[in-house]
Amino acid sequence: MAEPPRESWAQRLRDHCAVRGFPAPTFQDHSDRRGRRTAWTCVVTVNGVPINARFSYEYDYIAQAREDAAEQALRWITGVTDIGQQPPPASYYAQQRTQNLQSSQHLMLSQATQIPIRNPAQAQLQYPNPILAQQQHPNQSQNRQYPGAR
């Protein structure tokens, strides 16, 4: 049984950028005259960071240069640098992001229910103690005379 066709590296890169909230990647082709031939390569810019393709190609294969640059960028974003390993799909990161948001919201809610927050002004109104408010410590008397004071 044949494998289903795999998405292009460029499409996978676009998906990852969308999930992470990055602007869409931009591709720029570059040529380099080498004797009688011209070598073509591509640079993709992801979230302001330019990433080069590994190889140069003939003009007929410029699409491969774009795919090469997209692969390098996707590996850079995901941290999967082993060429024998495929980076996870963008949906994997979308699920992780959703789970992280839900767990942080749950943590915030649980902390909010465990720690009552009171406004100090309201606390004074709720628990007034007129006896303590009227009492004054003997050392705080304003009319106290010190020995030797005039």
pLDDT digits (tens, 9 = 90+) for 60-99: 999 999 999 999 999 999 999 898 998 888 887 777 766 6
Phi, psi of 40, rounded to the nearest 5 degrees: -120, 140
Residue-wise pLDDT tens digits, 13-41 = 999 999 999 999 999 999 999 899 999 99
Is 88 within 8 Å of 17 (Cβ atoms)? no
Measured distance CA(26)–CA(18) in Å, rounded: 13
- For residue 127, the model assigns a pLDDT of 41
Residue 5 tokens, joined: 């066709």
Q: CA dihedral in degrees (103, 109, 110, 112; nearest 10)?
A: 140
Q: The domain 9-88 is classified under which CATH number: 3.90.1150.10, 3.30.160.20, 3.30.830.10, 3.40.50.300?
A: 3.30.160.20
Q: What is the pLDDT of residue 125?
A: 43
pLDDT of residue 18: 93
